Structures are given as C-alpha cells and as structure tokens.
Amino acid sequence: MAMAEIVTTMLGASGVGKTTLLTSIYEQFSKINEQLNFEFKPDSDTEEILQKNLRDLQSMGDEIIAKEGSGGIAGTSAIAGPESLPEFAFYLSKKERQLLKLSFRDYPGSYVLKDNPVGREYLKRLLKESAAVIISIDTPAMIEPHKLDPLNSKNWDLLKDKSGRWHDAKNHPEEILNLFKAAYTNLKEPKLVILAPVKCETYVQTPESAQKLLGCIKDKYSPLLKFLGDPSRSDNIAVVTTPIQTVGCLFFSRYFIEDFNKPRFVFKKNSSMDTYNPKDNDHLLRYLLSFLLKRHNDMQIYKRSPILRSVRDVFQQESMFEQAVKQFAKTRKTTDGFTVLQGNELLKV
C-alpha cells in the first residue's frame, strides 16, 4: 500500500513569515516527540534547509529591522520555477516505520501577486490538491496604524490613526481571497484553512489583547471568511485561527518609512538575555491532526477521497498510533486567540 501523503500549502506574500513559521514548527518536533509514542521526522533535504534557518533565527540580535519583502530569515527564492521548488516533508513514524507523510509546500511570495500569472496558476493547483492551507499573516502590518505628522501634512482627513495601514500592501488579502475563489469551487472533499498570525508576540501577552487580535482577524479577513462560510461550501471547510509566536523573544517596537513609501518594521528583545523561544506552534499541528483524525472516523468522506482513505487504513493498522494522535489532538488550545471560526464538526476527535 502506498504511503498516505497529506499536502499543506503555506500561503502568503513575500515577507509575511511563511518560512519562519515552518522553521518554528520544525523546532517543536523534538519537544512533541517526547510526549508521544511516535515521532515526526523530516527527510534529509528538509532537515538540511530548516536546520540552517533555525541557526539563523537562534543567532538573531537584540533588535531586528525587517525590510519590506523580507522576514526573519530568507524566504524561498523567487528565481526558482514551480518545478524546482523545495518540498518540506515530515514523516509520522513509529519504531522506524514511516506511517504518514506530511508535506508542506512553500514558494516565493511573489506567486501571490496579480502580475505573476504563472505563480498564481501554480498556487491554484496547489490549493486544490492540498488538504490544508496555512495563511501566514504579518500581524504588525495588520494591526499597527499609520500616524501622520500634522505639521507636515496638508490633508487633515488623514491624521486619524488607521488600523492596519500596511495590511493590504504586506498581506495582500484580496489576492488571497481570489486564489480561494478560483480553487474552492465545487469542493469534493473537506478542507482545513488555518489563519496563522505570526510576529504576534506583542499582541498575545494577555487574554484581552489576544481577543483584540482575534477581532482584528475577523475584521480584516471578513471577505474571505464570508466566502468560506457560504452555505454552498461551508460544510466542507473548517476554519481556525492559531496565533503563533514564531520567535518568542522579539516584540514589535516601531516602524518608519523609507523611500517609495515602504515601511520598515523594528522588533526588539525585552532583554539581551532572551533567546529564540517559539510558542504555540505545536497547537497548529494539533488542529491539523484533529482534522485528519476526524476524516479517519468519517467513512462517507473516505469513500470519496483516495488520499484520506489511505490515512484511514494507516490508523486502522495502528490502533496505538491512533490513540496517541487522538490524545495529542484533543489538547489543542482554544483560548488566547485560538478558536474554531467554522466547521467544528470537521475537527471533533
């Protein structure tokens, strides 16, 4: 029997933090493996790339100034064509036996943009093939206002703070929505959509601030949520929010404007003794595995989906493995900005 492969698309424009998020998930695997009787193991190519990214993150200084179009680490090269993009593959294994392949697909963020038709066609196909999509959201760009100096501005109407002044320019929500509109028509099997705010350390330190972050996501992504929640497709789509502290030690400080009206976001450590310490990325995996485990228990869905039927076969062969996944998935976080916005039935374990 061929090994089941579950494809997850890392969706987002340049500089929002897709690769950094994937690296932080990889970093958590060793901690997760200590809790379970199975392991997440990357293949050799994946481990080589993400280990380098991890070293870069661990060596960050006390202050980071992120340029427009770049994040904490170098993103996927825009030079590479779709046929040569790396695949980040992880295997759920038990006693050296590989049971399930989790494949995360990254790509140059420029593929999201309207002026890249080749990249967008690739993404449409990828979204159709993927069981899950993780939308990386640049949180400061979504939240921080644009403040104008009244002494240097003649347009007094613009002096009010505008929440998320750089949201459209950084996160490209309209382009993201149009990709979903092209890919999520006539769905034949369930999908999981994860809205993952990254660089969010500043905004999740209290339950109150995390709740405000959740409200901002609902507001800024309301057109996408409305589309996903349409009665014609909502039964087949689960939507969750998972704020991920991708480095854990850097907090938004300020931003300033460079030439061509480009923002530069500044992040600082509270103390020079603070070190790389991502938080909550394991809960993103818990939601993903909750979705897969629910599919295992829904026989009617499996009859229509060869990929998910093969997942069912894996679980049936390994009852202890299924119980471990179930226990892991059940402990997913449901507070501090983590919530199921839609499709709770698709996530019940």
Residue 318 resides in a domain: no
DSSP 324: H
Helix (H, G, I), strand (E, B) or coil at 281: helix
Check residue 314 and give its pLDDT.
Answer: 58
Check residue 145 and give its pLDDT.
Answer: 83
Q: Is the pLDDT of residue 335 over 50?
A: yes
Q: Is the pLDDT of residue 296 over 70?
A: no
Tokens found for residue 192:
């999981």
Check residue 104 and give its pLDDT.
Answer: 92
Mean pLDDT of 253-269: 83
Check residue 319 and give its pLDDT.
Answer: 62
Helix (H, G, I), strand (E, B) or coil at 252: strand
Q: Is the pLDDT of residue 152 over 50?
A: no
Q: What is the pLDDT of residues 189-233, one digit of tens each?
A: 899 999 999 999 999 999 999 999 999 999 999 999 999 999 999
pLDDT band at 101 (very low <50, low <70, confident <90, very high): confident
Check residue 157 and give its pLDDT.
Answer: 44
Check residue 29 and give its pLDDT.
Answer: 76
Residue 11 resides in a domain: yes
Check residue 137 and give its pLDDT.
Answer: 95
Q: What is the pLDDT of residues 137-148, one digit of tens each?
A: 999 999 988 654
In CATH, what number is assigned to the domain containing residue 230? 3.40.50.300
Check residue 195 and give its pLDDT.
Answer: 97
Residue 332 resides in a domain: no
Among 21-30, 231-240, 308-317, 324-333, name the most confident range: 231-240
Check residue 313 and give its pLDDT.
Answer: 60
Q: Is the pLDDT of residue 300 over 50?
A: no
Mean pLDDT of 155-183: 78
In whole angstroms, what is the distance from residue 275 CA to residue 277 CA? 6
Check residue 301 and give its pLDDT.
Answer: 47
Check residue 172 and give its pLDDT.
Answer: 94
Check residue 262 and give its pLDDT.
Answer: 78
Q: Is the pLDDT of residue 256 over 60?
A: yes
Check residue 61 and give its pLDDT.
Answer: 84
- Please name the residues in contact with 89: beta carbons below 8 A apart, sequence gap of 6 or more: 42, 43, 45, 46, 101, 102, 103, 104
Tokens found for residue 160:
């009010």
Q: Is the pLDDT of residue 305 over 70?
A: no
Q: Is the pLDDT of residue 83 over 80?
A: no
pLDDT band at 151 (very low <50, low <70, confident <90, very high): very low
Strand stretches in the chain, DSSP E: 4-11, 39-42, 63-66, 87-94, 97-105, 132-138, 191-198, 237-241, 251-258, 262-268, 339-342
Residue 277 resides in a domain: yes
Q: Is the pLDDT of residue 316 over 60?
A: no
Residue 299 resides in a domain: no
Tell me the percentage of the chain whose pLDDT exceeds 90: 38
pLDDT band at 26 (very low <50, low <70, confident <90, very high): confident
Domain total for the chain?
1
pTM beyond 0.75: the answer is yes
Domain that holds residue 203: 4-281
pLDDT band at 41 (very low <50, low <70, confident <90, very high): confident
Residue 32 resides in a domain: yes
- Please name the residues in contact with 284: beta carbons below 8 A apart, sequence gap of 6 or more: 25, 134, 194, 196, 242, 244
Residue 143 resides in a domain: yes
Among 19-33, 91-105, 168-182, 320-334, name the most confident range: 168-182
Residue 315 resides in a domain: no
Check residue 81 and give its pLDDT.
Answer: 63
